[in-house]
Amino acid sequence: MNGAETLVETLADQGVEVCFANPGTSEMHFLAALENPRIRSVLCLFEGVATGAADGWARMMDRPASTLLHLGPGLANGLANIHNAKRAGVGMVNVIGEHSTRHLKYDAPLTSDIQGLARPLCHWIRTTDGSHAIAADTAAAVAKGNEGLISALILPGDASWGEAGELKRQPKATTVRPAPDAARVDHVVKVLKSGEPTLIILAGRSMRGLPLDLAGRIAATTNCRIATQFFSVRIERGAGRAPLERIPYAVDQAIAFLSGFKHIITVETGEPIAFFAYPDKPSLLKPADCQLHSLVEKGEDSAAGLEMLAEALGALKTLPTLQARIEEPMPQGALNPTSIAKALSYAMPEHCILVDESLTTGRESMGLTAGARPHDTIQNMGGSIGYGTPVATGASMACPDRRTFCMVGDGSAMYTIQSLWTQAREGLPVTTIIFANNTYAILKAEYANMGAGGEGKAAPGPRALSMIDIDNPTIDWVAMAKSMGVPAVSVDTAEDFTQAMINSTREAGPVLIEVKL
């Protein structure tokens, strides 16, 4: 076997099933090795699609996907969505081609410091030392991915094409997430028994399945409230689940939400902070007299931690308050955040996946979709736009039996619109919902929040506005979708939007809905 073949075999041995790829000349032997049917390789027309898809896949599977990126610039193109995955604690195994070792000294045009580019955003970085080292390096890269970390395995051409001898199968890494310290649990028991107003903030893997159920029981027992940060990696929501509140995005609203709490207990997360800094607003959001208590640290086992807590509180047999299905008539008339949320609640089928990158239009949707049929919601924790359509692509690859809805603003969608092509190619059941308000609407609000215009001037001037509005020309989303083989429809009423969503669930492949706002 050559080095590339040992890489692909080892990826498969370690449980990696898929490679989101955009290859180049230096990766031709790796490409040849991908003939191996144990790995499904998926072509993406831009590396930001590949890394975002790997993120989406891992969110649904709880184990990492791999990517294939072409040298330093290929990695650079993928970094924004690597940043988003890193911030969400989602593991990823990036394989990055490099020039053959003997070629590096000539400083050829595509030469760059790949390790340097990886360093700020990848947890584990290694340039493999030769064909014989690849199997062990690959196993180490996947082990880090299993821990929810970002790996960057840099593969020089000569290591890829060189003879590696007989493959040395690597032991499969097992990841153990430790339970939290018992003393921490005891402390939190006391806090919850104090009767003082307390909020538990859930994150990581605690917002679904057993830990979510346990959190519901703890809330029912102690009258504490349970919430998420504004952005979460993946939440099981809707009818039949313990409902979670959401800490608002805007600083003033978040402060109002948190006011009155004397204690905040964190599970796989930290203190709530402002997304951005503003001249006249604080970065920290909780009241000054509110105490912070960590129950489960990032990387620890929140199911074990919440079980210990529930047992100590005698909450294991308390039934949680579960969300009821809220049935409302199909919404009619004008499209606005409320009618859009009601349309989602009406149309979303059971067990669908909702990838939410709607920065402004979708902000009200969480509250109003609480009573939707049970579904998974995925959000961007890194703040770099161009996240939704790739993540929906990867989530759908992982769960082809469930429809994935991707809510995305027009500005964000344009960043990585190449995702549509991969969705068409793979026949993925994704419904992309473009909120076409023809503006970076979030920036209009932020301009005012920042006081950027000076005293008493909330609205941007004409030149600043021309950097925020994207209405000249308006983007024709139906033509955009058609160009990449995705059928599309444009809607401008709540009933047409609802019907378009329902219709899309009857299609086998991708659909795009342009929501004209």
Provide, rounded to whole angstroms, the least separation between the CB of residue 490 and a copy of itself: 12
CA dist 105 and 127 (Å) reads: 16
CA dist 369 and 244 (Å) reads: 12
Provide, rounded to whole angstroms, the least separation between the CB of residue 388 and a copy of itself: 14
Of 83 and 217, which CB lies nearer to a copy of itself in the complex structure? Answer: 83
Of 157 and 390, which CB lies nearer to a copy of itself in the complex structure? Answer: 157
Provide, rounded to whole angstroms, the least separation between the CB of residue 67 and a copy of itself: 13
Of 57 and 415, which CB lies nearer to a copy of itself in the complex structure? Answer: 415
Of 206 and 269, which CB lies nearer to a copy of itself in the complex structure? Answer: 269
The token pair at 241 is 């689940």
CA dist 259 and 117 (Å) reads: 42
Of 79 and 517, which CB lies nearer to a copy of itself in the complex structure? Answer: 79
Looking at residue 188, its amino acid is V
CB burial readout 364-384, b (16+ within 10 A) else e: ebbebbbbbbbbbbbbbbbeb
Q: To the nearest 5 percent, what fractions of the chain are helix, strand and coil?
A: 40, 20, 40
Strands of the sheet with 430-436, listed across from one edge = 235-237, 375-379, 352-357, 404-409, 430-436, 511-516, 488-491
Of 31 and 489, which CB lies nearer to a copy of itself in the complex structure? Answer: 31
Of 276 and 321, which CB lies nearer to a copy of itself in the complex structure? Answer: 276
The token pair at 188 is 């939190």
Provide, rounded to whole angstroms, the least separation between the CB of residue 24 and a copy of itself: 7
Of 393 and 418, which CB lies nearer to a copy of itself in the complex structure? Answer: 418
Provide, rounded to whole angstroms, the least separation between the CB of residue 158 and a copy of itself: 7
Q: Work out whether strand 235-237 and strand 375-379 pair parallel, antiparallel, or are unpaired.
A: antiparallel
Of 34 and 295, which CB lies nearer to a copy of itself in the complex structure? Answer: 34
Provide, rounded to whole angstroms, the least separation between the CB of residue 342 and a copy of itself: 29
Provide, rounded to whole angstroms, the least separation between the CB of residue 350 and a copy of itself: 30
CA dist 169 and 9 (Å) reads: 9
CB burial readout 230-264, b (16+ within 10 A) else e: bbbbbbbbbbebbbbebbbbbbeebbebbeebbbb
**Which residues 6+ apart lie within 8 Å of 208 measured at CB?**
234, 235, 236, 376
CA dist 27 and 428 (Å) reads: 27
Provide, rounded to whole angstroms, the least separation between the CB of residue 360 and a copy of itself: 12
Provide, rounded to whole angstroms, the least separation between the CB of residue 339 and a copy of itself: 26
Of 334 and 479, which CB lies nearer to a copy of itself in the complex structure? Answer: 479
What does DSSP assign to residue 348? P
Provide, rounded to whole angstroms, the least separation between the CB of residue 446 and a copy of itself: 4
Q: Could you give the 3-state DSSP secondary structure of residue 399?
A: coil
Whether 313 and 329 have beta carbons less than 8 Å apart is answered as no
User: What residue ranges in 174-271 does DSSP mark as E strands?
Assistant: 198-202, 225-228, 235-237, 245-246, 263-267
User: What residue ranges in 358-495 does DSSP mark as E strands?
Assistant: 375-379, 404-409, 430-436, 488-491
